[in-house]
Amino acid sequence: MFMRINWGKIKHGCWDEYEEKYIRTANEQQEAVGGPVARWLLRDLDDEDAGYAVSLWNTEEEMRTYTTSGDVRKRIEKEFGNLFTGEFSTKLCEVKHSTDYL
């Protein structure tokens, strides 16, 4: 399994709009072309304007293809560009161990 972890800072007061757009666009993208097997949106407890978008993928190839897709970048810029402060990073990881306690 592979994980894509995005961190970003949202303009102050824009979290609710960002969250609504994130959920809508993630669901639309999943229905249209597929993608990760799971997604999480996390809001930082110490900075209400910062958060993480985490996605879990079956293969590294699928994750990298999604990450480098020009269409995905254009859509993200169109939907979210006005909400970010410019502070944003993405990390691609291999899941080395997982334990489910649910």
**Helical residues (DSSP H) of the chain, grouped into ranges:** 15-33, 60-68, 70-80
Dihedral of CA 80/85/86/92: which sign? negative
Instruction: Give how far the C-alpha of residue 8 lies from the chain's centroid of Cα atoms, to the nearest Å.
Output: 9
Model confidence, pTM = 0.86
The strand pairing partners of 10, in sequence order, are 84
Contact 63, 4 (CB under 8 A): yes
Instruction: Give how far the C-alpha of residue 33 lies from the chain's centroid of Cα atoms, to the nearest Å.
Output: 16
- 38-97: pLDDT as tens digits: 999 999 999 999 999 999 999 999 999 888 877 777 777 788 888 989 888 999 999 999
- pLDDT score of 33: 67
